[in-house]
Every structure is written in structure tokens, then in C-alpha cells.
């Protein structure tokens, strides 16, 4: 059985960075499950399929021609690394992610990432639905204020205009949507260890996950 570490948590908590660093430290594969929902939303947009059309979007999700090549993401052979990170596609991702048929269409693809020597999987339902038998489950979070400040810093570094209050409001509504929907709601699972990174740097968060893994 391939060992799996799941890291679930809210937007802008820093779980992606921590998950990638843990994977690199252990020599494990890395699954960014949010990217699959973003790719599905982008594929639908490019084919003129509306995000709420559950069956049509699920069909696209099942047939997604996606390649993860290091940090680059390809869709139908085109580099979409930046395109899937746009705000509009983030909204589309959360719309298509609320459709049960889309989630099941992406299950097999997510399971396929669990290859030797191991996997670190990042998302909302990694420990609950996709990899319920994972050996270590982490719920990584931070206060709303800390998460808004992190996203703000990220946008400024990317040279994008950013307003802290607007970002905080956006995160709040995204969390509410992720928490309230019927499938894969955002919550801490009973068997996940809580990692609150409000007053913690990335290095310290990575060290904590690695020490849980080793013990
Ligand atoms: O960090 P951020 O929420 O901006 O983006 P993400 O992790 O790339 O996920 C994009 C969207 O996909 C989220 O808003 C969730 O609604 C959804 N998602 C999900 O439903 N299940 C997952 N395992 C991962 C993401």
C-alpha cells in the first residue's frame, strides 16, 4: 500500500506550499486537487460549456487531457499554469466543485497520483473522501486575518493590484461557500491533526508535519 499524507484546509491557508515542501522533503509525489477543479472550469469555459451543466462538465472532467510537469500545468497540450490561477477560474472551480458528478469523475484521476514511494495530497476532501485510509491526515488552517494578509502579499509580489479588505471579504465568502455546500464541505475530520499556522512560518509548519510523519 502506497503511503499517503493528506493536507486539507481553507483558501490561502498556505497548505499548498506546505504540502509541496513536505513532498519534496520525503521524495513523495504531490497532488494539487484544487488544480483539477480549476482545469475542469477552464476546459468548460474554452469549450463553451456552462459551469452549472453537471453532466456536460462531468464528461469533460472525466476526459480531461491534463499533464502536470513539475510546476507547469498543460491542458490539451497548452501551458495553462497561469490561466488556471485567475480569479475568474477560481470562482468557476468552486462552482464545478459543488457538482457531485464532477467530483466522482475526478476520483479515479486523483487515486492515480498515489504511486510509490508515496503521495502528499492537498485539498478540501483528501482525508475524508479521496484517501480515507491515509496514514497521516492534517487539517491546516490560519486565522481569517492571517490568510488575507498572505494572499495580499502574494498578489503584490506578483505585481497585481490588491486591496486587503476586499481580499478578506472574498476569502470569507469562499469559505462560507466551501463550508455550506452539500458535497465535500470544509471541516476538520475527527482523525485529522489540527495545524494552526496563524503564528507559524512555512518552515515550522513543514517541520511539524514531518515530525508527525516520523512519529
Ligand atoms: O486555495 P484556493 O481555494 O484559492 O484554490 P484551490 O485550492 O486551487 O481550489 C479551488 C476551488 O476548488 C476551491 O475553492 C474549492 O471550492 C474547490 N476544491 C474542492 O472542492 N475540493 C478539493 N479537493 C480542492 C478544491
- Which ipTM was obtained for this model? 0.91
* Tens of pLDDT, residues 142-155: 999 999 999 999 88
Going from the Cα of 182 to the center of ligand 1, the distance in angstroms, rounded, reads: 15
User: Mean pLDDT over all residues of the chain?
Assistant: 94
Contact 63, 108 (CB under 8 A): no
Residue in 51, 96, 97, 138 to alter for ligand 1 test, most ligand atoms within 8 A of Cβ: 97
* Tens of pLDDT, residues 9-61: 998 999 999 999 999 999 999 999 999 999 999 999 999 999 999 999 999 99
Alpha carbon distances (Å) from 115 to 3, 65, 108: 9, 20, 13
What structural domains and CATH numbers belong to the chain?
Answer: 1-28+117-215 (3.40.50.300), 33-114 (3.40.50.300)
Going from the Cα of 99 to the center of ligand 1, the distance in angstroms, rounded, reads: 13
Amino acid at each position: 500500500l502506497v503511503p499517503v499524507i493528506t493536507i486539507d484546509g481553507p483558501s490561502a491557508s498556505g497548505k499548498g506550499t506546505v504540502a509541496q515542501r513536505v513532498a519534496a522533503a520525503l521524495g513523495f509525489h504531490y497532488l494539487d486537487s484544487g488544480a483539477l477543479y480549476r482545469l475542469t472550469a477552464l476546459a468548460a469555459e474554452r469549450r463553451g460549456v456552462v459551469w452549472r451543466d453537471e453532466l456536460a462538465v462531468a464528461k469533460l472532467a472525466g476526459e480531461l487531457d491534463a499533464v502536470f510537469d513539475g510546476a507547469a500545468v498543460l491542458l490539451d497540450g497548452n501551458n495553462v499554469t497561469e490561466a488556471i490561477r485567475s480569479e475568474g477560474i477560481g470562482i468557476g472551480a468552486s462552482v464545478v466543485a459543488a457538482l457531485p458528478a464532477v467530483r466522482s469523475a475526478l476520483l479515479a484521476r486523483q487515486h492515480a497520483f498515489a504511486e510509490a514511494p508515496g503521495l502528499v495530497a492537498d485539498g478540501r476532501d483528501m482525508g475524508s473522501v479521496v484517501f480515507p485510509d491515509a496514514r497521516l491526515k492534517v487539517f491546516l488552517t490560519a486565522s481569517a486575518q492571517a490568510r488575507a494578509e498572505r494572499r495580499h502579499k502574494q498578489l503584490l509580489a506578483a505585481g497585481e493590484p490588491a486591496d486587503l479588505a476586499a481580499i478578506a471579504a472574498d476569502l470569507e465568502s469562499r469559505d462560507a461557500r466551501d463550508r455550506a455546500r452539500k458535497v465535500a464541505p470544509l471541516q476538520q475530520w475527527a482523525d485529522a491533526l489540527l495545524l494552526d499556522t496563524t503564528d507559524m512560518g512555512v518552515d515550522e509548519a513543514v517541520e511539524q508535519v514531518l515530525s508527525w510523519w516520523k512519529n
